[in-house]
Amino acid sequence: MTERPPVVVPAGFSLITVDEVGSTNDEALRRASEGEAAGTVVWARRQSSGRGRRGRFWDSPPGNLYCSVVLRPSRAPAAHLSYVAAVALAETLAERAPASVRLKWPNDVLLGSEKVAGILLEGGHGDDGRPHVVVGTGVNVASHPAEGGAVAPTSLAAHAIDVTVEAILQSYLRRLAEWVQRWETDGFAAVRSAWLERAAGIGAAIEVRLPLEKVPGRFSGLDEDGVLVVDTSQGTRRFAAGDVFLLGEGGGRAARH
């Protein structure tokens, strides 16, 4: 078996590699609460209890990418880091599939209309009271689940994209470091613009599903704070969270966030 070259991380980053962990986010959150420095990356070959947003199970066999990065941002709101990470990951995957990488509000990465990657942002405070944010990322490199609930899953391998997990991780961390620095220095405008350039469903008919209502309309874009803007029959509405169903494309499947 050919030995793969080591992953080179950006300046100020450190890489912790484990064969298996319950959840890379849980491990990164634990380390951050104990004072681990910003830029710490937990990378696992597999997860036994991987999860997505709202605790949804994330299938995590070997051959795919599972990593979590500890950040201590100097800019607020930290929720913008979901878009920062999405743009960095989209650029990474677009190196291999430039025509088909799209972003689904606010933190999924698609190949065509199928989900290939997701991002989970979580935060907390350490024993010293300092806040931290963990950016968890999962990419289906070699395989994907047979079923994915509301959004059809896919993998890079399913699109004949031959790339190693190590290569994806190295490129992603480099781009993530660059975009975090740009966001902290220049603000959200450039991140928002880059995200919108790859946005899936701009102008399409959608339905936003909330716990107590369903709101049909058209996906207008993002406001300056990263909130979803939807044109409805009752006027413009904004949503910071929700389950979004694309009705005008993608077969009516949902992108749930």
Contact between residue 101 and residue 114 where contact means Cβ atoms under 8 Å apart: no
Task: Return the pLDDT at 255.
Answer: 43
Contacts of 24 (CB under 8 A, 6+ apart): 42, 43, 44, 47, 50, 66, 67, 68, 136
For residue 204, which of 255, 245, 246, 151 has the smallest C-alpha distance? 246
39 has pLDDT over 70: yes
pLDDT band at 138 (very low <50, low <70, confident <90, very high): very high
pLDDT in tens, 23-36: 999 999 999 999 99
Instruction: Taking the CA atoms of 90, 14, 127 and 23 in sequence, report the sign of the dihedral they define.
Output: positive
58 has pLDDT over 60: no
For residue 58, which of 149, 123, 183 has the smallest C-alpha distance? 149
Domain with CATH 2.30.30 in the chain: 205-256
CA distances from 224 to 73, 121, 196, 248 (A): 19, 19, 12, 25
Task: Return the pLDDT at 53.
Answer: 54
pLDDT in tens, 142-166: 998 877 656 789 999 999 999 999 9
Contact between residue 51 and residue 158 where contact means Cβ atoms under 8 Å apart: no
Task: Return the pLDDT at 253.
Answer: 43
User: Which superfamily does CATH assign the domain made up of 14-197 to?
Assistant: Bira Bifunctional Protein; Domain 2 (3.30.930.10)
Helix (H) and strand (E) counts in the chain: 4, 13
Task: Return the pLDDT at 49.
Answer: 64
Query: Is 205-256 a domain of CATH 2.60.40?
Result: no
Domain with CATH 3.30.930.10 in the chain: 14-197
pLDDT in tens, 98-111: 778 999 887 899 99
